[in-house]
Amino acid sequence: MIYRFATTALVACLAACPLAAAASQSLDVLRDSAVAWLKQNRTLPGARMVAEADPLDSRLRLADCAAPLDVSVPGNRPISSRVSVVVHCPAPGGWTARVPVKVRMLMDVLVTTRPLARGDGLGAGDVRAEERDVASLAYGYVASLDQVSGRALARPLNAGTVLTPGMLAGRQAVRVGDAVSMEASVDGVVIHADGVAMGAGDAGARVKVRNASSGKILDAVVSGPGSVAVLP
């Protein structure tokens, strides 16, 4: 009788009490890790990054990683308004997941205060600094009057126009084929290398450059005569 009662109780428990599930990786930790890595490694100098990871599929089940997560963005593409961040568990039998992140790179840029004509020079009263999302400015931007000193406008501009290097006539700090000094920041360490300009422009213009040693083509911003800053 006692044996029958114990057997019945065991069967009932197996039916009603689920087995302990293996520990699963928190999806919120994946999202937070992707955002934190972007802010630490891919923020432009002088800019303020605002990043938000998209919700991940709640059906995604990943084993809890026994090692620190490895986070990266493949390739050398500049950060845009949407980034796919790779989060990898390097432990044996680990997994890899992609976290979509919306990014804004906020920075003070120059905006015209009044209508300006072609050939006009630019003074302090012609522009003002406004915070804009430079990740969405495909044609570059101008951050200070020092970058446009002695320059004239190549075309007329309306008030409230974000000033870009392509709107300015005259001087070119870098020309196609010029040997340039490349500066890049990798994990907080500044690295210098020799390169060749594949585009032309003044300070603030986006150009392609070729690493003289590796031959790799990189995106960069002209920082001055013969020098460029490689985009993260």
Q: What is the CATH number of the domain that holds 189?
A: 2.30.30.760
Residue 56 lies in a domain: yes
Last residue of a domain, one of 105, 128, 152: 105
Whole-angstrom CA distances from 77 to 66, 73, 85 are 31, 9, 12
More confident residue, 60 or 3: 60
- Asked whether the beta carbons of 112 and 157 are under 8 A apart, the reply is yes
Check whether residue 192 and residue 135 sit in a common domain: no
Tell me if 12 is assigned to some domain.
no
The structural domain count of the chain equals: 3
Per-residue pLDDT at 75: 76
> What are the distances in angstroms from CA 156 to CA 27, 86, 120, 192, 206?
50, 44, 8, 38, 22
* pLDDT tens track for 48-86: 999 999 999 988 999 999 999 999 998 766 778 899 999
Q: 79, 105, 131 — which closes off a domain?
A: 105
Instruction: Answer yes or no: do 37 and 85 share one domain.
Output: yes
Amino acid sitting at position 166 = G
Residue at 88 is within a domain: yes
Question: Does one domain contain both 99 and 34?
Answer: yes
Domain assignment present for residue 15? The answer is no
Are 53 and 117 in the same domain? Answer: no
Indicate whether 146 belongs to any domain: yes
For 14-18, 42-46, 181-185, which range has the lowest pLDDT when averaged over its residues? 14-18
Do 111 and 165 belong together in one domain?
A: yes
Q: Strand, helix or coil at 34?
A: helix
Domain assignment present for residue 222? The answer is yes
Domain residues for the domain of 220 are 179-230
185 neighbors 47 (Cβ within 8 angstroms) = no
pLDDT at 171: 65
In a domain, residue 72? The reply is: yes
Residues 204 and 165 in one domain: no
Q: For residues 82 and 115, state if they share a domain.
A: no
pLDDT above 60 (res 89) = yes
- 91 & 147 share domain: no
144 burial (CB, 10 Å; 0-12 / 13-18 / 19+) is: middle
User: Does any domain span residue 19?
Assistant: no
